[in-house]
């Protein structure tokens, strides 16, 4: 039996966001070969997907914790 936490990536949202910002800075700075630029772009895509994963999970957790419409304590 597996838990949702077992399928979570090992990189945190904050780590992925910081690395993605670094990738963007390096690409914007220029001076890279085409191959280096493509590798960075691909890594940036992976990191963006990872950040989106964490944001989606946060939304799910918030939705699960929110009371149902109109059903509050009486």
Give the CATH number for residue 22.
1.10.287
Position 71 in a domain: no
What is the tally of structural domains in the chain?
1
72 to each of 41, 61, 65, 67, 69, how far by Cα in Å? 47, 18, 12, 6, 8
Position 26 in a domain: yes
Res. 66: pLDDT tops 50: yes
Range of the domain at 34: 12-65
Position 56 in a domain: yes
Position 47 in a domain: yes
Position 23 in a domain: yes
pLDDT tens readout for residues 3-55: 444 466 778 999 999 999 999 999 999 999 999 999 999 999 999 999 999 99
In this prediction the pTM is 0.73
- In this prediction, residue 6 carries a pLDDT of 47
Res. 69: pLDDT tops 80: no
């Amino acid at each position: 039996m597996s838990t949702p936490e077992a399928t979570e990536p090992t990189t945190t949202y904050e780590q992925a966001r910081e690395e993605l910002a670094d990738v963007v800075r390096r690409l914007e700075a220029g001076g890279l070969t085409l191959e280096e630029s493509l590798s960075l772009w691909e890594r940036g895509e992976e990191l963006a997907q990872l950040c989106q994963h964490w944001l989606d999970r946060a939304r799910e957790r918030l939705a699960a914790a929110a009371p149902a419409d109109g059903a509050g304590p009486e």
